[in-house]
C-alpha cells in the first residue's frame, strides 16, 4: 500500500503517515494539492494531511481542499511535534544569520526566534524541505527548523532541540481515501460541512440538531466561501459514528434546511475514548 504525504522525507507528515500505516510505502508530494491528486488518481491508497496544530491553529488550505475533492476522511491521529534547529556540520548558533522553515513551524517557535537578534526568517514550503535546501546548496550561516529525522536524512547537525514555544506541541492529521473505499466497520467520529442562510438564529438552529440528540461537537470551523463575500462554510467534527442512529437523524434534520450539506466521512478516531484493543493498536504505531 502507498500512502501520500506533503513534504520531503523527514517531514512531520511522513512521521504521521508511518504511524498510521507503518508497513506502507511512503510517497512524498510537493504540495497538499498533490496529495489529494495522488489519492484521486490511484497513485496512492491513502493521503495523510495536517489539519490543525495546538499552537499554530488550523491549516486552512486543507479544509478548502476537502471540499474541492471527492475524497473521504477515513481516520485521524495526533503527532507530538518537537522542533530542532539544524544546520551544516560545524555550524554554531552564533554563526546562523538566516532560518528557514514552514510558516506553521515558524509560528510554533515564535518566542525562540525573537530571542535571536539579527536573524532573517524565511518561510518555505516544508520543514524537511528547508533542511534539504541547506544540504543541497551548502548554505553556510543558514539553519532550518525541522525534525531530528530531517537532520539525519540530510546529514545536518542539530544545534538545539525542543525549540517550540510550548512543550505540548501537537498536530492533528486527517487520513483521506477515495470515496469508493469501503467504510470502517466501527466508527466514532463524523466530519461534515454545510452552509446556512444569512438569517437570525441560523447557526443556533443548525447546532441544535446535535445538542437535542446529545451529540458532542469536538470542533467547529468557519471558512469564507470564495466569490461570495461574508458568506461562510461551517466544518463540524461530531463525536459520533455513522452507525449511531442519532447521527443519521441529526444529519437528515440538518440537510432539510442547510442550502449545502456534505458528509466528509465517518471514521474510527484515535482522539476519542476507545477500547483497550484500540489503545494497544495506537501504542504499537498502527491505526485504531
Alpha-carbon distance of 220 to 237, in angstroms, equals 7
pLDDT band at 33 (very low <50, low <70, confident <90, very high): very high
- Catalytic residue numbers, as ranges: 171, 173
Domain boundaries, the chain: 1-81+166-182, 84-161, 183-288
What global pTM score does this model have? 0.87
Three cell numbers written together for 248: 443519521
Alpha-carbon distance of 106 to 124, in angstroms, equals 10
Alpha-carbon distance of 49 to 76, in angstroms, equals 9
Report the pLDDT value the prediction gives residue 280, as an integer from 0 to 100.
30
Q: For domain 183-288, which architecture applies?
A: 2-Layer Sandwich (3.30)
* 162-180 pLDDT tens trace: 999 998 899 999 999 998 8
Report the pLDDT value the prediction gives residue 57, as an integer from 0 to 100.
87
**Are 51 and 58 spatial neighbours (Cβ–Cβ below 8 Å)?**
yes
Give the 3-state secondary structure of the chain: CEEEEECCCCCHHHHHHHHHCCCCEEEEECCHHHHHHHHHCCCCCEEEEEEEECCCEECHHHHHHHHHCCEEEEEEEEEECCCEEEECCCCCHHHCCEEEECHHHHHHCHHHHHCCCCCEEEECCCHHHHHHHHHHHCCCCEEEEECHHHHHHCCCEEEEECCCCCCCCEEEEEEEEECCCCCCCCCCEEEEEEECCCCCCHHHHHHHHHHCCCCCEEEEEEEECCCCCCCEEEEEEECCCCCCHHHHHHHHHHHHHCCCEEEEEEEEECCCCCCHHHHHHHHCCCCC
Task: Tell me which CATH code domain 1-81+166-182 carries.
Answer: 3.40.190.10
Q: Do domains 1-81+166-182 and 183-288 have the same CATH topology?
A: no
pLDDT band at 185 (very low <50, low <70, confident <90, very high): confident
* 58-99 pLDDT tens trace: 999 999 999 999 999 999 999 999 999 999 999 999 999 999
CATH of range 84-161; options 3.40.50.300, 3.40.50.2300, 3.40.1360.10, 3.40.190.10: 3.40.190.10
Q: Which residue has the cell 491513502?
A: 46
Amino acid at each position: 500500500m502507498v500512502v501520500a504525504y506533503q513534504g520531503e522525507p523527514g517531514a512531520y507528515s511522513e512521521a504521521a503517515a508511518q504511524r498510521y500505516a507503518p508497513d506502507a510505502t511512503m510517497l512524498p508530494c510537493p504540495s497538499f494539492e498533490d496529495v489529494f491528486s495522488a489519492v484521486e488518481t490511484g497513485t496512492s491508497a491513502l493521503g495523510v494531511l495536517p489539519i490543525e496544530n495546538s499552537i499554530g491553529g488550523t491549516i486552512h488550505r486543507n479544509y478548502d481542499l476537502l471540499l474541492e475533492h471527492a475524497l473521504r476522511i477515513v481516520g485521524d491521529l495526533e503527532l507530538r511535534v518537537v522542533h530542532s534547529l539544524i544546520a551544516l556540520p560545524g555550524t554554531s548558533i552564533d554563526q546562523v544569520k538566516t532560518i528557514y522553515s514552514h510558516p506553521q513551524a515558524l509560528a510554533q517557535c515564535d518566542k525562540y526566534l525573537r530571542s535571536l537578534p539579527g536573524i532573517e526568517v524565511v518561510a518555505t514550503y516544508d520543514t524537511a524541505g528547508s533542511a534539504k535546501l541547506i544540504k543541497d546548496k551548502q548554505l553556510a550561516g543558514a539553519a532550518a527548523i525541522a525534525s531530528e529525522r530531517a537532520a539525519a536524512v540530510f546529514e545536518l547537525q542539530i544545534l538545539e532541540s525542543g525549540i517550540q514555544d510550548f512543550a505540548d506541541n501537537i498536530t492533528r492529521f486527517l487520513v483521506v481515501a477515495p470515496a469508493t473505499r469501503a467504510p470502517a466497520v466501527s466508527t466514532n467520529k463524523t466530519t461534515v460541512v454545510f452552509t446556512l442562510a444569512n438569517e437570525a438564529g441560523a447557526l443556533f438552529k443548525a447546532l441544535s440538531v446535535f445538542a437535542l440528540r446529545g451529540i458532542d461537537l469536538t470542533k467547529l470551523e468557519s471558512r469564507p466561501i470564495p466569490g461570495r463575500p461574508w458568506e461562510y462554510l461551517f466544518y463540524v467534527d461530531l463525536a459520533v459514528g455513522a452507525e449511531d442512529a442519532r447521527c443519521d437523524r441529526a444529519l437528515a434534520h440538518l440537510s432539510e434546511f442547510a442550502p449545502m450539506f456534505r458528509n466528509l466521512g465517518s471514521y474510527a478516531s484515535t482522539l476519542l475514548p476507545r477500547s483497550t484493543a484500540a489503545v494497544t493498536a495506537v501504542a504499537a504505531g498502527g491505526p485504531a
